[in-house]
């Protein structure tokens, strides 16, 4: 699989982005881990690529202001998957297909099952409580 994170440069396209000098414990979409107290972050509007037309969604995400992390993009980021998450599948036309809540420890199996459908192009991982986008997954 291939993981797709969000670069901090994406914040620059949102004129309403907010600078937070200290916002510990938020899920960083750049490094795919939780923030530490001394790490300045952006909070901004972001629309993931997979959803198109009426399925395009905009929501809040955090990234570092200056990111020095280099997350492994060929395996799941365990620090963001220690709680149940929403997993949604999208076809090439950008329409939502199947989706559901996945428990920690079950992500590999759930991802494999969704990708067994050849019409599925992208998966999105989101929070259960707020629905916020975390990262996307495609086939390697």
* Interface contacts to Zn ion, rule CB under 5 A: 28, 30-31, 64, 67, 69
| 64 vs 126 by CB, closer to Zn ion | 64
Q: Report the alpha-carbon distance of residue 84 to residue 108 in Å, rounded.
A: 13
The least CB distance from residue 69 to Zn ion, in Å, is 4
> Which residues have C-beta within 8 Å of that of residue 68, sequence separation ≥ 6?
none
The least CB distance from residue 80 to Zn ion, in Å, is 12
| 102 vs 125 by CB, closer to Zn ion | 125
| 90 vs 133 by CB, closer to Zn ion | 133
Query: Is 88:101 a contact under the CB 8 Å cutoff?
Result: no
The least CB distance from residue 106 to Zn ion, in Å, is 27
Residues constituting the chain:
140
Alpha-helix runs per DSSP H in the chain:
107-115
Q: Report the alpha-carbon distance of residue 80 to residue 87 in Å, rounded.
A: 13
The least CB distance from residue 103 to Zn ion, in Å, is 26
Q: In Å, how far from its chain's centre is CA 139?
A: 15
Q: Report the alpha-carbon distance of residue 69 to residue 67 in Å, rounded.
A: 6
| 31 vs 81 by CB, closer to Zn ion | 31
The least CB distance from residue 3 to Zn ion, in Å, is 14
| 8 vs 51 by CB, closer to Zn ion | 8
């Amino acid at each position: 699989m291939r993981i797709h994170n969000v670069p901090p440069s994406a914040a620059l396209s949102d004129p309403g982005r907010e600078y937070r000098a200290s916002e510990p414990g938020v899920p960083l979409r750049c490094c795919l881990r939780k923030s530490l107290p001394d790490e300045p972050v952006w909070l901004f509007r972001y629309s993931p690529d997979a959803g198109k037309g009426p399925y395009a969604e905009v929501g809040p995400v955090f990234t570092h202001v200056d990111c020095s992390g280099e997350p492994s993009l060929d395996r799941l980021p365990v620090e963001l998957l220690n709680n149940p998450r929403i997993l949604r599948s999208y076809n090439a036309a950008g329409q939502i297909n199947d989706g559901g809540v996945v428990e920690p420890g079950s992500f590999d199996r759930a991802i494999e099952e969704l990708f067994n459908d050849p019409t599925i192009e992208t998966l999105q991982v989101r929070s259960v409580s707020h629905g916020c986008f975390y990262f996307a997954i495609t086939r390697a």
